Amino acid sequence: MLDSLKYYLKQHTEAAPLAVFRILFGLMMFISLLRFWAMGWIEKLYLEPNFHFSFYGFEWVKPLGNYTYLIFMVCALAALLVTIGLWYRIAISTFWLSFTYIELMDKTTYLNHYYFISVLALLLVFLPAHRYFSVDAYRLPKLATKHLPRYSIDAIKALLFIVYFYAGLAKINSDWLIHAQPLATWLPGKYDLPFIGSLLEERWLHYTFSWAGMLYDLSIPFLLLYRPTRSFAFTLVVIFHVLTRILFPIGMFPYIMIVSAFIFFDAGFHQRILLALQKLLRLPKTFLSPIGKAKFDLKLGQRVQIGFIAVLLLSQVLIPWRHLFYPGELFWHEQGFRFSWRVMLMEKAGYTNFTVYDPQKKERFEVDNQDFLSSFQEKQMSFQPDFILEYAHFLERHFQKTQQRGDLEIYAESYVALNGRSSQVFINPTVDLSQVKPGWANKTWILPFNDTIYGL
Amino acid sequence: MERVVLALLITVTFACTNEESDDSQNADNFDRSAMLVHWADDYIMPAYQDYQQKVVALNSSAQAFANAPSTVLHSTLHTDFVAAYKAWQWVSFLEIGPAEANTLRNFTNIYPTSAIEINQALPNASYNLSLPSTFNEQGFPALDYLLSGLGDPANTVSLFTSNSDYGAYLLALSQRLADMATQVVNDWQSSFRAEFIANTGSSATASTNKLINDFVFHLEKELRAGKVGIPAGVFSGNTLPQNVEAYYSDTLSRALFLESLLAHSAFYKGTGFKGLQSGSSLEQYLDYLNIEYQGEALSTKINARLETARLQATTLDDSFARVVQNSNSDLLSLYDELQKTVVLLKVDMMQALNVRVDYIDADGD
């Protein structure tokens, strides 16, 4: 066992796939960040709102006023450095830190694919992606090599495997498979698409897409790994992600996933890409055929890296199951819903208002959420319990400070609808949320879900 | 291999650029563009034209009164004021296109008005009413103050007679309302109608999405909060009778509320402006999609809620300020009823129709 592990860790493979991956990843990130900036989202999402929703334990991560632009600039610059492979370890670490900082500033904008980027960037910190076809390898020949430990490419494959497979597992539930929800809610709304628009109302199409989506997610990692089915699988990847891009507002994610799937291809394919790139950019020959022959000898430094990679991948296997610690319907209470590749799984909407009661002055009043939240924040807050709690605490502090009040009681009147069901009361209206501590404990102040969703 | 990849990448690029174009072939069985046409031709444009006529009439009776103040002319002016204010209730939620560009609602109906600021502005003949800082010195609430807030009609007449500043300010206000209405009507006729009915897409900025958002937003913030909740003290802890709509006219607030509720129902049910002509509606859309709420048709449920709110309001005193002072719990229960309506519209209806609640086109996953 230990021997075969040691044998595996000593195996080498061509460096080209990781080099191509590094180049494309950096480029995609650079474009994504520019796009985010150009859409005006830095202002809208991070500068205009006065209040920001934090992840538990990361309350200290906040937008930094106009310096927020600086974080984006640093992040974009780091992405470019990753692409060209200059000061790689510093660049990818900076990218990971700044990107993750951005994602932690306000959880209103949480998306699984942003989380995917953060995890992937952290993985890349420990991978020798700069040893081939990079400025670093050119400038420091003793770094350069055409061969890398095999695990450095397998680690990325493993992460993609987890993402797809877990996304598929999450789709094995009665709403998705038996009721074709939420696709039955979403697809008819895209009636205006050319050619397929009129089909999107058809019940059979909702079922087809639901089942095909589930089967795709579960099988695609295997089909990509197995050489005879690889081209077919890649065709599926493209069709699937293009379709999601057309049907849903998911920005750059489809492109990132398509490009990431390149990693499954043989080295020859990547070698030809690099050759074309070398000719196109008139790069020195040493980019393709480095003089140096760096050694990977499983000494301490490399062992530490392998350790980090193993822990990271293991955590990705385990974290999605944490919802098992919480009773009740996961889609309803959402405890353990994030960070577990539950992608596009539910249509949830809510309407939540707060009443403040001042027991000393015996005064009771409702809050106009618009006074504090952007419409996007209000929308996200209205159906996610941790948002509701954090906001309730903010309201208590706010009214204590601005209106010189003592201890306040905060009650939520909340209605939420899930996957096409009628709206129902969400939060126990008699619980004073100002007394509830945030944390990992089960949130007993969420009222039980009126229905049952069967599945994983 | 590369050829496959290349071909696929070209397909991706093509498919994704193609997707941006919005030429809808709308083959959907529920004809959303018919709904837009109905909204534009049977509701929005007639309602705006009616409103324009009423404010133009208001403007001319204001001129007559300012030229020769008398209690008779004051009474005519007040009648025209009431008619225009009621007509406004039908167009208030249409914050789209020209009305949105000019922030029409803010310049027309921000209340409570500021008597202090009006009195400060009066002696300066050069008030700039296009500044956002003057929202609460103009529109119907400011007219309400000038007509009924300075004392009984005889008092008002003598003030207007002795000090021409009042007449000048009155005219500036009525002229501005007439100008803004004319502008909006012209814009709808000349270009925006075409733009509105052509924008049939499903994006956040498409006409259906925007107007449904406007409609629900208005019901929540103006009808539920502005006209009822705020004066009843829902948001402040203490009651605010002076914050009712048309506070100085005293007996107008319930009528304006009912008019607004009627307008919301007509829009939702598709009966057109004051029953002019029925057409495709949100109600039909919900029925078409077969949306249920706890075993009943959601559309029926919403209708029932709107009707309950109407019946509750008809039992109240015609002055909401008096209701606040004498039996505020009645107004609070009207507020609760409207709140339930908002839940059905904002959560159940908008989810069923797949209308996004926010305008920010941020990515999803």
DSSP β-ladder status, A363-366 and A409-418: unpaired
Which phi-psi region, left, alpha or beta, contains residue A362 (left: φ > 0; alpha: ψ -120 to 50)?
left
CA distance A171 to A217: 9
Q: Are residues B170 and B212 both part of a single domain?
A: no
Q: Is residue B46 part of a domain?
A: no
Give the burial class of A380: count Cβ atoms within 10 A of its Cβ; 0-12 exposed, 13-18 middle, 19 or more buried: buried
Residue B165 and residue B293 share a domain: no
CA distances from A102 to A99, B11, B362 (A): 5, 33, 15
Closest CA of chain B from A251, distance in Å:
6
Shortest CA gap A126–chain B (Å): 27
Q: Mean pLDDT per segment of 10 residues, for chain A of length 456 residues?
A: 89 94 97 95 94 96 96 98 97 98 96 96 97 94 91 97 97 97 89 83 94 97 96 96 89 92 95 95 90 78 93 97 96 96 93 96 94 94 97 97 94 96 97 96 96 92
Report the domain count for chain B: 2
pLDDT tens sequence across B298-309: 999 999 999 999
Q: Is residue B260 located within the same domain as residue B313?
A: yes
Please indicate, yes or no, if residue B36 is contained in any of the structural domains. Answer: no
| Residues of chain A contacting B201 with CB distance shorter than 8 Å | 192
Rounded to whole angstroms, the Cα distance separating A275 from A255 reads: 23
From the CB of residue A219, how many other CB atoms can be counted at a distance below 10 Å?
Answer: 16
Rounded distance between C-alpha atoms, residue B189 and residue A445, angstroms: 53
Residue numbers in A near B235 (CB within 8 A): 365-368
Same domain, B189 and B206: no
Domain end point (choices B139, B164, B199): B199
Q: Which among A107, A366, A383, A424 is the top mutation candidate for probing chain B, defined by the most B β-carbons within 10 Å of its own β-carbon? A: A366
Which residue out of A116, A192, A250, A272 would a mutagenesis test of the B interface target, given it has the greatest number of B Cβ atoms within 10 Å?
A192
Chain B's closest residue to A383, CA to CA, is: B347
Cβ–Cβ < 8 Å for B73, B64:
yes
- The model's pTM: 0.91
The answer to whether residue B26 scores a pLDDT higher than 60 is no
Q: How far is CA A452 from CA A271, A330, A448, in A?
A: 52, 10, 10
Tell whether B45 is covered by a domain. no
The confidence score (pLDDT) of residue B13 equals 55
Closest CA–CA distance from residue A370 to any residue of chain B (Å):
10
Residues B177 and B216 in one domain: no
With CB atoms and an 8 Å threshold, state whether A245 touches B342: no
Query: In which region does residue B311 sit, left (phi positive, over 0), alpha (psi from -120 to 50) or beta (all else)?
Result: alpha
User: Same domain for B239 and B355?
Assistant: yes
What is the rounded distance in angstroms from the CA atom of residue B142 to the CA atom of residue B109? 9
Cβ–Cβ contact A363 with B under 8 A: yes
Q: Does residue B38 lie in a domain region?
A: no
In a shared domain, residues B25 and B58: no
Q: What is the pLDDT of residue A192?
A: 79
DSSP state of A437: P
- Is the Cβ pair B289, A251 closer than 8 Å? no
Whole-angstrom CA distances from A306 to A32, A88, A116, A150, B168 are: 30, 18, 20, 12, 82
Q: Is B322 contained in some domain?
A: yes
> Does residue B20 surpass a pLDDT of 50?
no
Chain A partners within 8 Å of B292 (Cβ) = 422
Q: What is the mean pLDDT of chain A?
A: 94
pLDDT score, position A334: 97
pLDDT band at B106 (very low <50, low <70, confident <90, very high): very high
Nearest chain A CA: its distance from B98 CA (Å): 22
- Nearest chain B Cα distance for residue A310, angstroms: 27
Residue B338: which domain range?
1-30+201-365
Give B28's pLDDT tier (boundaries 50, 70, 90): very low
CB B106 within 8 A of CB B141: no
**Does residue B200 surpass a pLDDT of 90?**
no
Query: Is the same domain home to B138 and B164?
Result: yes
Regarding whether B242 and B118 lie in a shared domain, the answer is no
Confidence band for B17, pLDDT divided at 50, 70 and 90: very low
Q: How many CB atoms lie within 10 A of CB B189?
A: 13
* pLDDT at res. B365: 65
B41 located within any domain: no
Select from B15, B200, B237 the Cβ nearest to the Cβ of A192: B200
Inter-chain residue contact A375 with B348, CB threshold 8 Å:
no
- A-B Cβ pairs (cutoff 8 Å, strict): 161
Contact assignment for A363 to B201 by CB distance below 8 Å: no
Chain A, nearest residue to B351 by Cα: A349
Judge: A193–B19 Cβ closer than 8 Å, yes or no.
yes
B44 within a domain of the structure (yes/no): no
Residue B258 domain flag: yes
Q: Report angle CA B45, B46, B51 to the nearest 5 degrees.
A: 95
Q: B212 and B175, same structural domain?
A: no
B221 and B364 inside one domain: yes
The answer on B62 and B25 residing in a single domain is no
Chain B residues in contact with A367 by the CB 8 A cut-off are 235
Using the Cβ of A272 and the Cβ atoms of chain B, whether some distance falls under 8 Å is answered with yes
pLDDT at B10: 58
Does residue B364 carry a pLDDT above 80?
Answer: no
Q: Do A365 and B235 touch (CB under 8 A)?
A: yes
Q: What is the pLDDT of residue B11?
A: 55
Q: Output the six-digit token pair for A180.
A: 């074709």
Asked whether the beta carbons of B252 and B244 are under 8 A apart, the reply is no
| pLDDT greater at residue B360 or residue A272 | A272
Q: Cis (ω within 30 of 0) for the bond into A182?
A: yes
Chain A, residues 138-167, CB within 8 A of chain B, namely none
- For B28, the closest of A201, A269, A378 (CB atoms) is A201
* Exposure of A395 in the CB half-sphere (CA atoms within 13 A): 30
Inter-chain touch A423–B201, beta carbons under 8 Å: no
DSSP 8-state symbol, A59 = T
Residue from A445, A364, A444 nearest A408 by CA:
A364
Task: Supply the angle between the helices A88-105 and A16-38 in degrees, to the nearest 10.
Answer: 40
Partner B contacted by A251 (CB < 8 A): yes
Q: Taking a C-beta distance cutoff of 8 angstroms, is the pair B259, B29 a contact?
A: no
Span B260-281, mean pLDDT?
94
Distance from CA of B207 to the nearest CA of A (A): 13
CB contact under 8 A, B361 and A39: yes
**H and E: helices and strands count for chain B:** 17, 2
Counting beta carbons within 10 angstroms of the beta carbon of residue B275, is it exposed (0 to 12), middle (13 to 18) or buried (19 or more)?
Answer: exposed
Contact indicator for A378, A53 with CB cutoff of 8 Å? no
Last residue of a domain, one of B151, B178, B199: B199
Average pLDDT, chain B: 90
CB contact under 8 A, A197 and B32: no
Cβ-defined contact of B365 to A112 (cutoff 8 Å): yes
Which residues of chain A does B343 touch, with a Cβ-Cβ cutoff of 8 Å? 351, 415, 423
Instruction: Using the 3D structure, point to which of B153, B177, B199 is the last residue of a domain.
Output: B199
Query: What's the CA gap between A340 and A322, in Å, rounded?
Result: 9
State the CATH number of the domain containing residue B227.
1.20.1420.20
For B122-163, write each residue's pLDDT tens digit: 887 678 899 999 999 999 999 999 999 999 999 999 999 999
* CA of A225 vs chain B CAs: smallest distance (Å): 16
